[in-house]
């Protein structure tokens, strides 16, 4: 039974990264008609409603202790709020290629957070898998045509800030999902983030021409909110709870595989040998990092 549970956890993590990998396709549809910050707020609200429904239906709500509320606020602040602000501007001031490589450092950053907080130990094969998966992302980026055009220090700092925020979120969430349900944890974190983002984007939201937004653009909001933000992060929480933050973080390097695959299938983009090789390297790194200790 325990083995089946771990297999399910790994499959859910793959599904989460699939959601994140195809998210850019739907984001592009929405951003044609909705600005970045209103779009981010609307998908957060969509995720919040979804998480609320799941929490209510599961009947798993429990009173949040005072000390845990402080941690919920920190996780929401760094994991969602900081990331949602820093990442888009980081990409704007650098390039997609540079962003892909920096975002691949998540497992390393999680190790750094865990080291200073003394949360988890890391085995030799997990470390090797981390290195291998990061190398795979670099190979894919090079195979996709690496570009540093427009890169400058401010953008790089913003991307590292976004990535460290998500690393903190991944590492410290383990303390919450071991005590509260996955659904409640997600609901509270998104609620905190939505409230913070509302005050920063109120002016942008109030100027949105709702009557001119098409059903296609709204579909991007709903799909990325429900699957990318809500379900994807709930599955991510499940991985953190059962595998630990370090081993789970390796899966963060899988979205480029699904992004390339979706572009190849739906956008008639080409798939190079180098990209295929990078995909194999990433997959090998994920498998190695999560290899059973009994193996």
What pLDDT, in 10s, does the model give residues 106-156? Answer: 776 677 666 666 665 666 666 666 666 666 666 766 665 655 566 677 777
Model pLDDT, residue 295: 39
Q: What are the Cα distances from residue 74, in Å, to 32, 141, 170, 280, 284?
A: 33, 32, 12, 36, 33
Q: How far is CA 13 from CA 16, 41, 56, in A?
A: 5, 25, 23
| Residue 12 pLDDT grade (very low, low, confident, very high; cuts 50, 70, 90) | very high
Predicted pLDDT at 26: 82
What's the rounded mean pLDDT across residues 260-264?
65
Q: Taking residues 263-285, what's their average pLDDT?
A: 66
Instruction: Write down the pTM of the prediction.
Output: 0.77
Euclidean distance between CA atoms 168 and 190, whole angstroms: 16
Please provide the average confidence, as pLDDT, over all residues in the chain.
78
The fraction of the chain above a pLDDT of 90, given in percent, is 22
Please give the pLDDT value at position 294: 44
pLDDT tens across 203-250, in order?
889 889 998 999 999 999 999 999 988 999 899 889 888 888 777 877
What is the spatial distance between Cα 284 and Cα 207, in angstroms, rounded to a whole number? 47
pLDDT at 187 over 90: yes
């Amino acid at each position: 039974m325990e083995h089946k549970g771990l297999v399910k956890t790994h499959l859910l993590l793959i599904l989460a990264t699939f959601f994140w990998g195809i998210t850019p396709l739907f984001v592009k549809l929405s951003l044609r008609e909705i600005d970045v910050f209103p779009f981010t707020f609307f998908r957060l609200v969509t995720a919040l409603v979804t998480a609320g429904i799941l929490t209510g239906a599961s009947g798993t709500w429990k009173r949040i202790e005072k000390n845990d509320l402080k941690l919920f606020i920190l996780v929401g602040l760094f994991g969602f709020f900081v990331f949602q602000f820093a990442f888009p501007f980081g990409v704007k001031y650098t390039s997609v290629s540079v962003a892909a490589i920096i975002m691949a450092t998540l497992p390393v950053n999680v190790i750094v957070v865990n080291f200073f907080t003394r949360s988890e130990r890391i085995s030799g094969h997990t470390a090797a898998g981390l290195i291998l998966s990061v190398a795979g992302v670099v190979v894919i980026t090079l195979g996709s045509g690496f570009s540093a055009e427009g890169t400058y220090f401010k953008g790089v700092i913003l991307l590292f800030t976004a990535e460290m925020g998500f690393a903190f979120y991944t590492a410290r969430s383990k303390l919450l999902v071991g005590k509260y349900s996955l659904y409640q944890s997600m609901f509270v974190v998104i609620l905190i983030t939505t409230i913070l983002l509302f005050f920063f984007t109120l002016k942008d939201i109030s100027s949105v021409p709702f009557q001119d937004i098409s059903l296609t653009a709204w579909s991007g909001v709903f799909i990325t909110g429900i699957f990318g933000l809500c379900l994807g992060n709930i599955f991510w929480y499940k991985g953190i709870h059962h595998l630990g933050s370090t081993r789970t973080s390796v899966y963060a390097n899988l979205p480029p595989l699904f992004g390339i695959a979706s572009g190849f299938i739906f956008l008639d983009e080409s798939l190079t040998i180098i990209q295929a090789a990078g995909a194999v390297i990433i997959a090998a790194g994920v498998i190695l990092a999560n290899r059973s200790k009994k193996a």
